[in-house]
């Protein structure tokens, strides 16, 4: 009997520990973290003139991934009340870990990112520290301002490519993918603000959809999408990228972008904004593939 109670207690402790570990991982949004790691790898491969050492690629990508993970945590810490309405499945809303524990994880991940990047180069260290500061102020205040928060996130996404360009010793080659990433993520951030309008309005956030309305937000998305489509033609017209780039962009990237706009304005379909957000994220990956094939 005592042995059975002891075994049950050990089992419960293991289960609780496993849940805690999974919660610590989940709050970082591991899929986004992995994407950040892979984006830096792709940015380096796109930008490099000579083959970059595998160790440098891995460390630079790892530092960026830890920075992104920390940024996701601080965002969730300041977003607890909004997430109770818009994202009730989030770790802090469910109290899977405490706010204090999340804050400690945030500090640890930032420290690791700084240590790793300092061992690669001074410019990467500077970008990591700058990104950490920007991410904090974004979560604390900037995200509540119309368009400023959206532009901040889009800027940081584009900065990942510049970061990768510096890691490869050729930051100029990263400008085009950085602009592409900036534009497509700016669109996605506005869509996400439309999606979160109910929770944001209850907390008095002055996002673009709240300030100017959903229709105006959708029209802004169309405008930025047109700019993005025109921009995707530039590298091919100027012969910076090969025909492979043009084929992927014209057959997949731009049609998916148009499809996203169709879903955005189709009021009859349920969960349109979720679909649009996922399509845009997928489209960014395909766009990067197009750039890589076209180099």
Confidence of residue 270 (pLDDT cuts 50, 70, 90): very low
Among the residue ranges 15-24, 223-232, 282-291, the one predicted with the least confidence is 15-24
- Is 268 a residue whose pLDDT tops 70? no
Residue 6: what pLDDT?
A: 45
Q: Could you give the 3-state DSSP secondary structure of residue 1?
A: coil
CATH assignment of 26-294?
1.10.357.140
Mean residue pLDDT across the chain: 85
Residues 118 and 114: their CA atoms lie apart, in Å, by 6
**What average pLDDT score do residues 101-123 get?**
94
- Is 91 a residue whose pLDDT tops 50? yes
Residues 32 and 36: their CA atoms lie apart, in Å, by 6
Residue 203: what pLDDT?
A: 66
pTM equals 0.84
Q: Which helix (H) or strand (E) holds 48?
A: none
Cα radius of gyration rounded to whole Å, the chain: 21
Residue-range domain boundaries for the chain: 26-294
Percent of the chain with pLDDT over 90: 37
Residue 11: what pLDDT?
A: 46
**What average pLDDT score do residues 129-136 get?**
95
**What average pLDDT score do residues 44-68 get?**
90
Residue 198: what pLDDT?
A: 75
Among the residue ranges 23-32, 57-66, 190-199, the one predicted with the least confidence is 190-199
Residues 245 and 248: their CA atoms lie apart, in Å, by 5
Residue 90: what pLDDT?
A: 78
- Would you state the structure tokens that stand for residue 67, as one six-digit string? 């920075």
């Amino acid at each position: 009997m005592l042995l059975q109670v002891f075994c049950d207690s050990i089992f419960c402790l293991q289960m609780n520990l496993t849940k805690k570990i999974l919660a610590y991982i989940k709050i970082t949004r591991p899929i986004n973290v992995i994407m950040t790691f892979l984006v830096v790898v792709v940015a380096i491969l796109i930008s490099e003139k000579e083959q970059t050492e595998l160790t440098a690629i891995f460390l630079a990508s790892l530092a960026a991934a830890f920075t992104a993970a920390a940024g996701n945590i601080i965002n969730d810490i300041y977003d607890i009340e909004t997430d109770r309405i818009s994202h009730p499945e989030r770790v802090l809303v469910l109290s899977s870990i405490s706010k204090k524990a999340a804050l400690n994880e945030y500090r640890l991940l930032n420290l690791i990112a700084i240590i790793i990047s300092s061992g690669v180069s001074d410019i990467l260290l500077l970008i990591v520290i700058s990104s950490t500061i920007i991410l904090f102020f974004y979560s604390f205040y900037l995200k509540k301002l119309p368009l400023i928060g959206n532009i901040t996130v889009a800027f940081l996404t584009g900065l990942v490519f510049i970061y990768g360009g510096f890691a490869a010793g050729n930051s100029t080659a990263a400008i085009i993918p950085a602009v592409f990433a900036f534009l497509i993520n700016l669109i996605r951030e506005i869509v996400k603000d439309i999606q979160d309008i109910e929770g944001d309005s209850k907390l008095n956030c002055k996002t673009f959809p709240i300030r100017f309305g959903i229709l105006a937000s959708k029209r802004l998305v169309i405008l930025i999408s047109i700019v993005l489509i025109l921009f995707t033609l530039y590298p091919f017209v100027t012969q910076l990228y090969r025909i492979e780039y043009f084929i992927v962009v014209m057959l997949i990237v731009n049609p998916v972008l148009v499809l996203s706009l169709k879903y955005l304005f189709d009021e009859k379909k349920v969960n349109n904004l979720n679909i649009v957000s996922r399509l845009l994220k997928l489209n960014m990956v395909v766009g990067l593939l197009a750039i890589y094939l076209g180099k």
